[in-house]
Amino acid sequence: MAKKAIKTRSTTPVDHHVGAAVRTRRVELGMSQTDLANAVGITFQQIQKYENGANRVSASRLWQFAAVLSVPVDSFFAGLAAHKLTKAQLSEIEAERRGHVGRDETIDPDTVKLARQVASLKDVKLKARLKTMLSVLASGGKFA
């Protein structure tokens, strides 16, 4: 049986931008790579890889960096639009994003909006009933 090829994910211009923003803030604070690494429990080599854009920064790691560097998480994305990504780069980023949203490229914006509206409901019982109703409808069932 043939082995399935493993797709490796390369970094994108966004990853390079975020890494550079982490480096900029760290230097502003006079913090070494070792100091930042120790603060978040990784090696300074990993900090180098993040800052150079060689490795992607996970959401939880970005949250840690923001806390240690005393900035909001979104500050790492400031100025990103100014980078003028090419259409090919934007397509690659969008394809990657779609690949991680439930691994279902058929999710349309209205479905996402509906899911967010259900998730935002404060009434726990109503939310549970809605989820049950949607599950029954999705499985082809009918209500009495």
Instruction: Work out the percent of the chain whose per-residue pLDDT is above 90.
Output: 38
Provide the residue count of the chain. 144
Q: What is the pLDDT of residue 60?
A: 94
Chain centre distance of CA 7: 19
Q: Are residues 38 and 80 in the same domain?
A: yes
Q: Are residues 19 and 75 in the same domain?
A: yes
Q: Please, what is the average pLDDT of the chain?
A: 81
Between 100 and 33, name the one with better pLDDT.
33
- Tokens coding 107: 């999710």
Q: Are residues 76 and 125 in the same domain?
A: no
Q: What is the pLDDT of residue 107?
A: 64
Q: What is the pTM of this model?
A: 0.55
pLDDT digits (tens, 9 = 90+) for 65-124: 999 999 999 999 888 776 666 777 667 666 665 555 444 445 677 777 888 888 888 888
Q: Is residue 3 part of a domain?
A: no
Asked if residue 93 lies in contact with residue 82, where contact means CB atoms within 8 angstroms, the answer is no
Q: Is residue 1 part of a domain?
A: no
Q: Are residues 27 and 58 in the same domain?
A: yes
Q: ∠ at Cα 47 (43, 52), nearest 5°?
A: 145
pLDDT digits (tens, 9 = 90+) for 2-30: 555 545 567 888 888 899 999 999 999 99
Q: Is residue 70 part of a domain?
A: yes
| Cα 65 to Cα 40: distance, rounded to the nearest angstrom | 7
| Cα 56 to Cα 68: distance, rounded to the nearest angstrom | 18
Q: Are residues 72 and 121 in the same domain?
A: no
Q: Is residue 63 part of a domain?
A: yes
Q: Are residues 81 and 144 in the same domain?
A: no
Where in the sequence is the domain holding 44, given as residue range(s)?
13-85
Q: Are residues 73 and 19 in the same domain?
A: yes
pLDDT at 50 over 90: yes
Asked if residue 62 lies in contact with residue 76, where contact means CB atoms within 8 angstroms, the answer is yes
Q: Are residues 105 and 65 in the same domain?
A: no
Q: Is residue 67 part of a domain?
A: yes
C-beta contacts of 80-88 below 8 A and 24+ residues apart: 80/14, 80/17, 83/13, 83/17, 85/13
User: Could you give the number of structural domains in the chain?
Assistant: 2
